[in-house]
């Protein structure tokens, strides 16, 4: 969801409402057992959901996402977590 403060990003459940079309919308699917899928932005527009793992540090509210090779690819700080919204900043 587009917001005026470009340092934070708002994510909603997939069935929350209709959003206007955009060129690229980042998607994360957090699953149990620290598994996840994330939308990979391919340089030739062949975007795909890629598997990875995630962990959450409760002291810092930091989510770390790693690809299948164990390379850390996202560091995300959770600012707000509610039923219909997740606000976070990518570090």
Look at residue 32 and give its three-state secondary structure. helix
What does the pLDDT read at residue 71? 97
The pLDDT profile of the chain, 91 residues, written as one tens digit per residue, is: 555 556 777 777 777 766 555 556 788 999 989 999 999 988 887 889 999 999 999 999 999 999 999 999 999 999 998 988 888 888 8
What does the pLDDT read at residue 18? 65
Burial of 10 from C-beta contacts in 10 A (0-12 / 13-18 / 19+): middle
What does the pLDDT read at residue 4? 55
What does the pLDDT read at residue 53? 98
What does the pLDDT read at residue 1? 54
Q: Is the dihedral of CA 77, 25, 7, 70 positive or negative?
A: positive
């Amino acid at each position: 969801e587009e917001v005026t403060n470009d340092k934070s990003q708002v994510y909603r459940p997939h069935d929350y409402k209709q959003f206007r079309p955009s060129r690229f919308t980042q998607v994360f699917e957090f699953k149990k057992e620290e598994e996840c899928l994330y939308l990979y932005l391919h340089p030739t527009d062949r975007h795909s959901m890629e598997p990875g793992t995630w962990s959450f540090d409760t002291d810092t509210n930091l989510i770390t996402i790693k690809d299948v090779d164990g390379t850390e690819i996202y560091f995300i700080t959770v600012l707000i977590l509610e039923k219909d919204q997740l606000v976070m900043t990518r570090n």
